[in-house]
Protein backbone atom coordinates (compact mmCIF):
# COMPACT_ATOMS: atom_id res chain seq x y z
CA UNK A 1 0.00 0.00 0.00
CA UNK A 2 1.33 3.43 -0.93
CA UNK A 3 2.11 5.83 1.90
CA UNK A 4 -0.59 8.52 2.08
CA UNK A 5 0.16 12.09 3.16
CA UNK A 6 -2.31 14.90 3.85
CA UNK A 7 -1.05 18.46 3.43
CA UNK A 8 -2.86 21.47 4.90
CA UNK A 9 -1.37 24.69 3.51
CA UNK A 10 -3.19 27.89 2.58
CA UNK A 11 -0.43 29.19 0.30
CA UNK A 12 -1.22 27.70 -3.13
CA UNK A 13 2.34 27.78 -4.46
CA UNK A 14 3.85 26.17 -1.34
CA UNK A 15 1.10 23.53 -1.18
CA UNK A 16 1.54 22.68 -4.86
CA UNK A 17 5.33 22.53 -4.55
CA UNK A 18 5.20 20.13 -1.57
CA UNK A 19 2.54 17.99 -3.25
CA UNK A 20 4.25 17.73 -6.63
CA UNK A 21 7.60 16.96 -4.97
CA UNK A 22 6.19 14.20 -2.74
CA UNK A 23 4.08 12.71 -5.54
CA UNK A 24 7.19 12.57 -7.72
CA UNK A 25 8.81 10.54 -4.93
CA UNK A 26 5.97 8.00 -5.12
CA UNK A 27 3.70 9.13 -2.29
CA UNK A 28 -0.06 9.47 -2.46
CA UNK A 29 -0.71 13.10 -1.52
CA UNK A 30 -3.98 14.87 -0.83
CA UNK A 31 -3.62 18.59 -0.33
CA UNK A 32 -6.02 21.11 1.11
CA UNK A 33 -6.02 24.90 1.47
CA UNK A 34 -7.67 24.77 4.90
CA UNK A 35 -7.91 22.42 7.88
CA UNK A 36 -11.70 22.77 7.66
CA UNK A 37 -11.60 19.85 5.20
CA UNK A 38 -10.58 17.52 8.04
CA UNK A 39 -13.72 15.65 9.11
CA UNK A 40 -12.77 16.09 12.76
CA UNK A 41 -13.10 19.83 12.15
CA UNK A 42 -16.06 20.00 9.76
CA UNK A 43 -18.21 17.20 11.23
CA UNK A 44 -16.71 17.10 14.73
CA UNK A 45 -16.07 13.38 14.30
CA UNK A 46 -13.77 11.02 12.44
CA UNK A 47 -15.37 9.32 9.44
CA UNK A 48 -12.75 6.58 9.20
CA UNK A 49 -13.72 3.03 10.17
CA UNK A 50 -12.46 2.21 13.67
CA UNK A 51 -9.49 0.17 12.46
CA UNK A 52 -8.46 2.65 9.73
CA UNK A 53 -6.77 6.04 9.49
CA UNK A 54 -7.28 8.60 6.75
CA UNK A 55 -3.53 8.86 6.09
CA UNK A 56 -0.11 7.87 7.32
CA UNK A 57 1.13 11.43 7.84
CA UNK A 58 -0.04 15.01 8.06
CA UNK A 59 1.96 18.08 7.10
CA UNK A 60 0.38 21.36 8.11
CA UNK A 61 1.29 25.00 7.93
CA UNK A 62 1.23 26.82 11.26
CA UNK A 63 -0.58 29.98 10.18
CA UNK A 64 -3.79 29.28 8.29
CA UNK A 65 -7.13 31.07 8.24
CA UNK A 66 -9.47 29.92 10.97
CA UNK A 67 -7.10 27.55 12.75
CA UNK A 68 -3.38 27.25 13.39
CA UNK A 69 -1.43 24.08 12.75
CA UNK A 70 -1.04 23.68 16.51
CA UNK A 71 -4.80 23.96 17.01
CA UNK A 72 -5.35 21.38 14.26
CA UNK A 73 -2.94 18.86 15.81
CA UNK A 74 -4.33 19.45 19.31
CA UNK A 75 -7.95 19.19 18.09
CA UNK A 76 -7.24 15.97 16.20
CA UNK A 77 -5.50 14.46 19.20
CA UNK A 78 -8.35 15.37 21.56
CA UNK A 79 -10.96 13.88 19.24
CA UNK A 80 -9.31 10.56 18.48
CA UNK A 81 -7.49 11.06 15.19
CA UNK A 82 -5.89 7.72 14.38
CA UNK A 83 -2.75 9.26 12.90
CA UNK A 84 -0.10 9.29 15.64
CA UNK A 85 1.13 12.78 16.51
CA UNK A 86 4.69 11.61 15.80
CA UNK A 87 3.51 11.32 12.17
CA UNK A 88 2.57 15.00 11.99
CA UNK A 89 4.78 17.90 10.99
CA UNK A 90 4.17 21.63 11.23
CA UNK A 91 5.77 24.09 8.85
CA UNK A 92 6.35 27.65 9.99
CA UNK A 93 8.59 30.62 9.32
CA UNK A 94 8.35 31.71 12.94
CA UNK A 95 7.17 29.66 15.88
CA UNK A 96 6.78 31.15 19.33
CA UNK A 97 8.99 29.25 21.80
CA UNK A 98 5.93 28.04 23.72
CA UNK A 99 4.37 26.68 20.51
CA UNK A 100 7.58 24.88 19.62
CA UNK A 101 7.72 23.34 23.11
CA UNK A 102 4.12 22.17 22.79
CA UNK A 103 4.77 20.59 19.39
CA UNK A 104 7.75 18.74 20.78
CA UNK A 105 5.71 17.65 23.84
CA UNK A 106 3.03 16.32 21.47
CA UNK A 107 5.70 14.48 19.48
CA UNK A 108 5.29 16.51 16.28
CA UNK A 109 8.10 17.60 14.01
CA UNK A 110 8.64 21.31 13.30
CA UNK A 111 10.10 22.37 9.97
CA UNK A 112 11.17 25.99 9.82
CA UNK A 113 10.70 27.90 6.57
CA UNK A 114 12.68 28.16 4.48
CA UNK A 115 13.86 24.56 4.35
CA UNK A 116 15.17 22.30 1.64
CA UNK A 117 12.72 19.83 0.17
CA UNK A 118 15.20 17.09 1.03
CA UNK A 119 14.66 17.91 4.74
CA UNK A 120 10.94 17.31 4.22
CA UNK A 121 11.68 14.08 2.36
CA UNK A 122 14.04 12.92 5.13
CA UNK A 123 11.29 13.41 7.73
CA UNK A 124 8.73 11.60 5.53
CA UNK A 125 11.12 8.68 5.03
CA UNK A 126 11.87 8.46 8.77
CA UNK A 127 8.16 8.30 9.57
CA UNK A 128 7.55 5.85 6.73
CA UNK A 129 10.17 3.49 8.15
CA UNK A 130 8.05 3.14 11.31
CA UNK A 131 4.64 2.61 9.72
CA UNK A 132 3.35 -0.84 10.67
CA UNK A 133 2.93 -2.98 7.54
CA UNK A 134 -0.49 -4.15 8.75
CA UNK A 135 -1.91 -0.62 9.07
CA UNK A 136 -5.18 0.06 7.29
CA UNK A 137 -6.09 3.27 5.47
CA UNK A 138 -9.56 4.39 4.54
CA UNK A 139 -9.95 3.60 0.82
CA UNK A 140 -9.37 6.72 -1.26
CA UNK A 141 -12.87 6.83 -2.85
CA UNK A 142 -14.44 6.69 0.63
CA UNK A 143 -12.07 9.32 1.95
CA UNK A 144 -12.79 11.69 -0.92
CA UNK A 145 -16.54 11.38 -0.27
CA UNK A 146 -15.96 12.93 3.16
CA UNK A 147 -14.15 15.98 1.80
CA UNK A 148 -16.44 19.03 1.70
CA UNK A 149 -16.90 20.33 -1.85
CA UNK A 150 -14.30 17.86 -3.11
CA UNK A 151 -11.48 20.22 -2.09
CA UNK A 152 -8.81 17.52 -2.46
CA UNK A 153 -6.43 17.84 -5.34
Q: For residue range 69-123, what is the model confidence (pLDDT) as tens digits?
A: 888 898 888 888 889 999 999 999 888 888 888 888 989 999 988 999 999 999 9
Q: What is the C-alpha separation between 34 and 12, in angstroms, rounded?
A: 11
Q: What is the C-alpha separation between 91 and 8, in angstroms, rounded?
A: 10
Residue-range domain boundaries for the chain: 4-150
CA dihedral (151, 147, 90, 58) positive or negative = negative
The CATH label, of 2.170.120.12, 3.40.50.1820, 1.10.260.40, 3.40.50.2300, for the domain at 4-150 is: 3.40.50.2300
Q: Is the pLDDT of residue 13 over 80?
A: yes
Q: Is the pLDDT of residue 34 over 70?
A: yes
Q: Is the pLDDT of residue 136 over 80?
A: yes
Q: What is the C-alpha separation between 109 and 18, in angstroms, rounded?
A: 16
At 153, the pLDDT band (50, 70, 90 cuts) reads very low
Q: What is the mean pLDDT of residues 109-138?
A: 93
Amino acid sequence: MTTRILIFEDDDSARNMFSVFLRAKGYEVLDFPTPATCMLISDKKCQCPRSHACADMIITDMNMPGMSGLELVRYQMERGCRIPTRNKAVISAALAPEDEREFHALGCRCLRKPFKLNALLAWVQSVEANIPPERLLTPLPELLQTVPDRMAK
